[in-house]
Amino acid sequence: MILKKENFKPDKKIKPFIGILLFLVSIILAAVTIPLGFIYGIFYNLFTKGIKGIGEYCLKIAISIDQLGNVAMQHLINTLWITPLGYKFGNRDETISSALGRNKQLETLTSFGKFIDTILDKLDPNHSLNSIDYYIEPTDQIIDKLAWIHINNYQILSTRSKGRNKYYIPGGKREGEETDHVALLREIKEELNVDLLVKTLDFLGVFEAQADSHKPGTLVRMTCYFAEYTGRLQAASEIEEFVWLNYEDKEQVSEVDKIIFDYLHHEGLLK
């Protein structure tokens, strides 16, 4: 089971000298402790879980190495594998395969990047797409948002902000260290003047696409919840109006909302 992170904290600012010093110390410690720890880990898992335990242990190490490679090789990979408008490698919380999958979705892989992806697909079909990690901490290229999915008679509630032409599923960004639930309840209260019932919140999924009105390679990650509410729906704050949309209205919404529309339509919830 993968537990979703609900709190995102910004990186602490470190002086360059401290960063170099910590890097050297970590290299020394790794050279001494990793071989010993690895051997012990192999035997520990062998005697406690058998071959399955060794496989799980090795997979965790492989993922960690992949994350290290995403940071250590970011500049080289960004030059060779993706176009200048692609999603950048280098997030310390993400694997190389995950970032590769995001660029495959955005169609920003270079010929060499496509070649690497093809090789991985031969070993593991749809490897990079299946490796996309929606639970990594946001960066400048990932806009973290929450959305309330409310469906009535196979139509989905959507909103249009003042001065905009497109409709958006109601929700918004978290403030500070808000949890998903706190942020979503606040946003919906501000936008539609109703109170979501916390006990009815039901996680739907996480969806990702190119962010509207942002430079190419900037993604919006939408974490979606179903929920019941109390009160009467009213357009408030920056919201000009709220409407009920069908699946055929998909072209009137944002890129990430289109993906959500497709999913809901496939599940028979939106017609």
> Tell me: the pLDDT tens digits for 208-229?
999 988 888 999 999 999 999 9
What is the reported pLDDT for 8? Answer: 39
Residue 210 contacts residue 233 (beta carbons within 8 Å): no
Predicted structure pTM score: 0.70
For 3, which DSSP code?
Answer: P
CA–CA gap between residue 182 and residue 184 (Å, rounded): 6
Closest CA to 257 of 240, 270, 241, 239: 270
Phi (first) and psi of residue 141, to 5 degrees: -100, 0
Tokens linked to 212? 């509207």
* pLDDT, tens digit (0-9, with 9 covering 90-100), for 19-37: 787 778 888 877 888 888 9
Domains of the chain with CATH codes = 50-130 (no CATH), 142-266 (3.90.79.10)
Tokens linked to 194? 């109703």
* H-run or E-run covering 172: strand 171-173
CA–CA gap between residue 165 and residue 49 (Å, rounded): 57
Q: What is the CA radius of gyration of the chain?
A: 22
CB proximity list for 141: less than 8 A, separation 6 or greater: 87, 88, 217, 218, 219
Q: What distances in angstroms separate CA 99 from CA 49, 74, 144, 164, 224, one per listed residue?
A: 32, 10, 16, 31, 22
Tokens linked to 109? 């892989």
Residue 162 contacts residue 239 (beta carbons within 8 Å): yes
The parts of the chain modelled with pLDDT lower than 70 are 1-15
CA–CA gap between residue 141 and residue 87 (Å, rounded): 7
